[in-house]
Structures are given as structure tokens and as C-alpha cells.
Structure 1
């Protein structure tokens, strides 16, 4: 497993890690900063997290996924710090012998991360900013 909080999310690093001769399917979800939220134009986002707890929760989610699906390799990366519109901020990746397990497990990873991992974001708009839970 590759589980990290990072300054910059590296899509190529995640893909290279997931490559395995036993894997017939690799599913890679990349979450990026979009240009709008709450009906306003987003200028940038800032992510903060409590690293010890976040990594512990990410590990628990990964282990739960491995218990449910035949996963060959797994990646969970989340960026902290300031991110511009279009930048990747989160990557979930799963390699498995078959695509169905890869798709299903990858969806589980991102959904569970959003529910439990202590990471927050501050959305910056043209006229103000607001802290929100990154994963409501």
C-alpha cells in the first residue's frame, strides 16, 4: 500500500506504483480543484489536516478495502496546502486481477475517505473565503 499526505499529488507516481503483472485492471480516481462551489467562482483552495489521525484513518480504510476485494496494490494520496484551480488534490488507485474489483474498491476508498478522514479545506472566492470540511 502507498498511503501518504503530500505537498503535490503525482499521478504518474501513483500509476507506476499500481502497475503489476498480476493486475488486469487499474482504476485511478483523481480529484481536482474545480472553479466553482456554493454558486461562486473559486480562486483557490487550501487544505489542512491532522496528519497522524488522517494517516491512521486512511490505513483503516485501505485495510477494509483489502478485506472486501482481491486487491493487488492500493494507493491513497491527499495533498495538503494551497492548490490552484485544475490541480489534483486526491488520488485513489486500485490494481486488481479484474476491473470490477478495481472499480468498486476505488469508489469505496474515495467515499470512505470523504466520510472519515480529518482533512479540511478553505475555499477562496473573489470576495471572501470560508473553511469547510473537505469531505462532508
Structure 2
């Protein structure tokens, strides 16, 4: 009986960690776990030099959204790690609509961001990520 209760408590704690690890809110001033320093808002991760990303989404807007909502799991350079996918070439695998669906609805342990991000923010991120090829 005690072992069963302990197992249930451990599972609940693991689920709580998984669901709070991603989507770190809108505060970009907290240090990134990988480097101990937060990247500057508007500074694009490696391989994302200048220009538009589609529609009205600029790299600075997308980078700011990424830093606030995705970086905690997918790393500052989009490399992921552990159970978190590498996003550096995600546009070669998925188009913007597919990426928007994944961001909105979640997938494979990733939480859904519909309701946490606006449709415009999801579109900005998906267009930006779709350009990663």
C-alpha cells in the first residue's frame, strides 16, 4: 500500500515537471539553463540572420516569442536535447501550417500553446521556424 502511494506521488511529480518545463511564460530575463545567461531580446539564434520571415513577422518578433516560450525546452540555438526535438532544420520537415498546428495543439509531450499565445504569435513563430531549412 505504501509503495503504491509513493509510486503515485512520484508519477504526479514527474507530470508536474513535464508540464511546467515548457512554455516558460513571457519573462525573457531569466537565465537559460544551458548557458546561465539570457540571450538579448531581438538577437536571433544561430543561422537566423536578418530579414523578413513571411508576412509581417520579423526575426526580432519571432526570436522574442521563441525566447519567452520555447527556449527552455529547445535551447537558445534551437538544438533541443534529451527528449526535446532539434528545431534548427524544422522547416525542411514541416511547412508553416504544420508547425502552427504543433504549436497550437502540442504533440509528443509538448504542451499546447493555443490560449497561451495568440493566433498572430503562433503564426509569427511558425513562419519563422518554417524558414529553418
User: Counting helix residues as a fraction of each chain, which structure ranks higher?
Assistant: 2
TM-score by length of 1: 0.28
Q: Which has the higher strand share?
A: 1
Between structure 1 and structure 2, the one with the greater Rg is 2
TM-score normalised per structure 2: 0.28
| Structure with higher RCO (Cα < 8 A, 6+ apart) | 1
